[in-house]
Chain A
Amino acid sequence: DIQMTQSPSTLSASIGDRATITCRASQSIDSWLAWYQQKPGQAPKLLIYQASKLESGVPLRFSGSGSGTQFTLTISSLQAEDVAVYYCQQYSSAPDTFGQGTKVEIK
């Protein structure tokens, strides 16, 4: 099985700061990586697919990059509404594993 490792576990930043989350795969997944945002009491929401493609309706301050085993989700200017837990997921091969999540807080 492919293991997905996210860092950091918690990210605390100020409004307007740039926030970066990293996801590492235990083997190459090409660009078959998605990022999800989950707010308390809600289902996850797709933000980024195929590593760098922005889902329709997602604010442009969100971006994704990477391929192979190293991936990054960047929020260019953190907003209060971005407080959530963020997960990466590989869908290169079953089981379609998730990272353990990164909690984003406002400092």
Chain B
Amino acid sequence: EVQLVESGGGLVQPGGSLRLSCEASGFTISDYWMHWVRQAPGKGLVWVSHINRDGTMTNYADSVRGRFTISRDDARNTLFLQMNSLRPEDTAVFYCARGDSSGLGYWGQGTLVTVSS
């Protein structure tokens, strides 16, 4: 059974950092493009970043480029999102998702990041 479990969210002050993790089971993350998507409270879905199968290509939304870094640990079958210089507008539920030519077929349950003083 495919499962994605995010962790690492919490309350952080503006300017602070957090690292989100997404532990995958039931498949090998290096066989798929892996994505982060966020959703601010009461708002819509916003794509954040993705990493390709061999880890050689990453892309970011303009709003996070230069502040967020996506990476993965194949040995642990885990995806990460390092978030630096956090802003109040980064407050959101962050989802990891598995992607392929069929779109984002599997999603985690999400982890809440709150940026506030």
Q: Do A and B come from one complex?
A: yes
Q: Which residues of A contact B (CB under 8 A)?
A: 1, 34, 36, 38, 43-46, 49-50, 53, 55, 85, 87, 89, 91, 94-101
- In the complex, chain B residues whose CB is within 8 Å of the CB of A95: 47, 59-62
Q: How many A-B residue pairs have CB under 8 A?
A: 63
Task: Give 1 or 0 for each of B92-111: 1 = CB within 8 Å of chain A CB.
Answer: 00010001011111011110
B47 to chain A, nearest CB (A): 5
Contact present for B104 and A36 (CB under 8 Å): yes
Residue of A nearest to B46 (CB): A98
Q: Is the CB of B61 within 8 A of A34?
A: no
The interface of chain B, by Cβ under 8 A from chain A, is: 35, 37, 44-47, 50, 59-62, 95, 99, 101-105, 107-110
**Are A101 and B45 in touch, CB under 8 angstroms?**
yes
Q: Interface majority SS on A: helix, strand, loop or mixed? A: loop
Q: List 28 A-B contacts (CB under 8 A).
A: A1-B62, A34-B103, A34-B104, A38-B45, A43-B107, A44-B45, A44-B107, A45-B107, A46-B105, A49-B102, A49-B103, A49-B105, A53-B102, A55-B102, A55-B105, A87-B45, A89-B45, A89-B47, A94-B59, A95-B47, A96-B35, A96-B99, A97-B47, A98-B37, A98-B44, A98-B45, A100-B44, A101-B45
